[in-house]
A and B are shown apart, each in its own frame.
Chain A
Amino acid sequence: MKLVVLKFLRDLPAVLGLGIVLFGLFVAVFANQLAPHPDAAFQSNLLQRFKPPSAEFWFGTDNLGRDIFSRVVLGTRSAFIIAFTVVGSAMLIGVPLGLFAGYLGGWRTELIMRLTDVVLAVPQLILALALAQLMKPGLDTAMLALTLTYWPFFTRTVYAETRRLKSSLFVEALQGVGASTTRILFLHILPNAASPIIVRATIGMGFTILTAAVLGFLGVGATPPDPDWGLAIAESRKFLPETWWFATFPGLAILVAVLGFNLLGDGLRDLFDPRLRRSR
Chain B
Amino acid sequence: MTAAYDANGAILQVRGLVTVLGRQRPLVGRRSAGVRAVDGVDLDIAPGEILGLVGESGCGKSTLARTLLGVQRESEGNIVLDGRSVGGLDPGEARRTRGDIQYVHQDPGAALDPWWSIGRSLEEGLAIRGNRSPADREARVRRALSEVGLDPATAGRYPHELSGGQLRRVGIARILVLEPRLVILDEPTAGLDLSVQATVLRLLRDLRARLGLTYLFISHDLSVVRRLCDRIAIMYLGRIVETAATDLAFSAPRHPYTRALLAASPRLDSELVQRVPVMGEPPKPGAIPPGCAFHPRCRYAEPHCARSRPVLESAESSHLVSCLRWRDLPAEPTASAT
Complex contacts, A108 vs chain B, CB 8 Å: none
Q: Determine whether A176 belongs to the interface, using a CB cutoff of 8 Å to chain B.
A: yes
Cβ–Cβ contact A172 & B71, under 8 A = yes
Cβ–Cβ contact B115 & A192, under 8 A = yes
Cβ–Cβ contact B111 & A179, under 8 A = no
Q: Considering the complex, which residues of chain B in the window 98-128 have a beta carbon less than 8 Å from any beta carbon of chain A?
A: 99, 102-103, 105, 107, 110-116, 124-125, 128
Given contacts A176-B69, A178-B99, contact A169 B128 (CB under 8 A): no
Complex contacts, A188 vs chain B, CB 8 Å: 113, 115-116
Cβ–Cβ contact B128 & A183, under 8 A = yes
* Closest chain A CB from B25 CB (angstroms): 12
Q: Determine whether B129 belongs to the interface, using a CB cutoff of 8 Å to chain A.
A: yes
* Closest chain A CB from B115 CB (angstroms): 5
Complex contacts, A177 vs chain B, CB 8 Å: 95, 102, 124-125, 128-129, 178
Q: Determine whether A241 belongs to the interface, using a CB cutoff of 8 Å to chain B.
A: no
Cβ–Cβ contact B107 & A175, under 8 A = no
A167-192 vs B, Cβ < 8 Å mask (1 yes, 0 no): 01110111111111001000010011
Q: Determine whether A2 belongs to the interface, using a CB cutoff of 8 Å to chain B.
A: no
Q: How far is the CA of A252 from the CA of B103 in the complex (A)?
A: 60
Cβ–Cβ contact B178 & A169, under 8 A = no
Cβ–Cβ contact A169 & B110, under 8 A = yes
Q: How far is the CA of A280 from the CA of B125 in the complex (A)?
A: 27
Q: How far is the CA of A140 from the CA of B125 in the complex (A)?
A: 46
* Residue in A closest to B95 when the chains form the complex, CB atoms: A178
Given contacts A176-B69, A176-B103, A179-B128, contact A170 B112 (CB under 8 A): yes
Total A-B residue contacts, Cβ distance less than 8 Å: 54
A237-267 vs B, Cβ < 8 Å mask (1 yes, 0 no): 0000000000000000000000000000000
Complex contacts, A174 vs chain B, CB 8 Å: 113, 124
* Closest chain A CB from B145 CB (angstroms): 17
Cβ–Cβ contact A192 & B114, under 8 A = yes
Partner of A173 from the list B99, B105, B115, B129 (CB cut-off 8 Å) is B105
Q: How far is the CA of A280 from the CA of B159 in the complex (A)?
A: 12
Q: Determine whether B275 belongs to the interface, using a CB cutoff of 8 Å to chain A.
A: no
Cβ–Cβ contact A178 & B112, under 8 A = no
Complex contacts, B110 vs chain A, CB 8 Å: 168-170
Q: Considering the complex, which residues of chain A in the window 173-227 have a beta carbon less than 8 Å from any beta carbon of chain B?
A: 173-180, 183, 188, 191-192
Given contacts A176-B102, A177-B124, A280-B160, contact A169 B111 (CB under 8 A): yes
Q: How far is the CA of A176 from the CA of B95 in the complex (A)?
A: 7
Q: How far is the CA of A178 from the CA of B114 in the complex (A)?
A: 19
Cβ–Cβ contact B111 & A172, under 8 A = yes
- Which range holds the interface residue count of chain A? 10 to 19
The A interface is mostly helix, strand or loop, or mixed, namely helix
Given contacts A177-B125, A179-B128, contact A169 B71 (CB under 8 A): no
Partner of B115 from the list A169, A176, A191 (CB cut-off 8 Å) is A191
Q: How far is the CA of A178 from the CA of B102 in the complex (A)?
A: 11
Cβ–Cβ contact B95 & A175, under 8 A = yes
Q: How far is the CA of A201 from the CA of B130 in the complex (A)?
A: 37
Partner of A169 from the list B69, B91, B99, B105 (CB cut-off 8 Å) is B105
Q: How far is the CA of A175 from the CA of B95 in the complex (A)?
A: 8
Q: How far is the CA of A183 from the CA of B116 in the complex (A)?
A: 13
Q: Considering the complex, which residues of chain B in the window 167-205 have a beta carbon less than 8 Å from any beta carbon of chain A?
A: 174, 178
Q: Determine whether B227 belongs to the interface, using a CB cutoff of 8 Å to chain A.
A: no
Cβ–Cβ contact A178 & B96, under 8 A = yes
* Closest chain B CB from A1 CB (angstroms): 10
Cβ–Cβ contact B71 & A176, under 8 A = yes
Q: How far is the CA of A280 from the CA of B110 in the complex (A)?
A: 14
Complex contacts, A168 vs chain B, CB 8 Å: 110
Q: How far is the CA of A169 from the CA of B178 in the complex (A)?
A: 19
* Residue in B closest to A192 when the chains form the complex, CB atoms: B115
Cβ–Cβ contact A178 & B160, under 8 A = no
Q: How far is the CA of A179 from the CA of B113 in the complex (A)?
A: 13
Cβ–Cβ contact B115 & A175, under 8 A = no
Complex contacts, B124 vs chain A, CB 8 Å: 174, 177, 179
Q: How far is the CA of A277 from the CA of B26 in the complex (A)?
A: 37
Q: How far is the CA of A180 from the CA of B91 in the complex (A)?
A: 12
* Closest chain A CB from B129 CB (angstroms): 7
Complex contacts, A180 vs chain B, CB 8 Å: 128
Q: How far is the CA of A173 from the CA of B113 in the complex (A)?
A: 9
Q: How far is the CA of A174 from the CA of B113 in the complex (A)?
A: 9
* Residue in A closest to B120 when the chains form the complex, CB atoms: A187
A residues near B (Cβ < 8 Å) are 168-170, 172-180, 183, 188, 191-192, 280
B residues near A (Cβ < 8 Å) are 69, 71, 91-92, 95-96, 99, 102-103, 105, 107, 110-116, 124-125, 128-129, 160, 174, 178
Q: Give 7 pairs: A residue, B residue, CB < 8 Å, sorted on A.
A: A172-B111, A176-B103, A177-B125, A177-B178, A178-B92, A183-B128, A191-B113
Nearest 5 pairs between A and B by C-beta? A173-B111, A169-B110, A178-B95, A177-B125, A169-B111
What would 10 more interface pairs be, CB under 8 Å, given A173-B105, A176-B71, A177-B128?
A170-B112, A172-B105, A173-B112, A173-B174, A177-B95, A177-B124, A179-B124, A188-B113, A191-B113, A192-B115
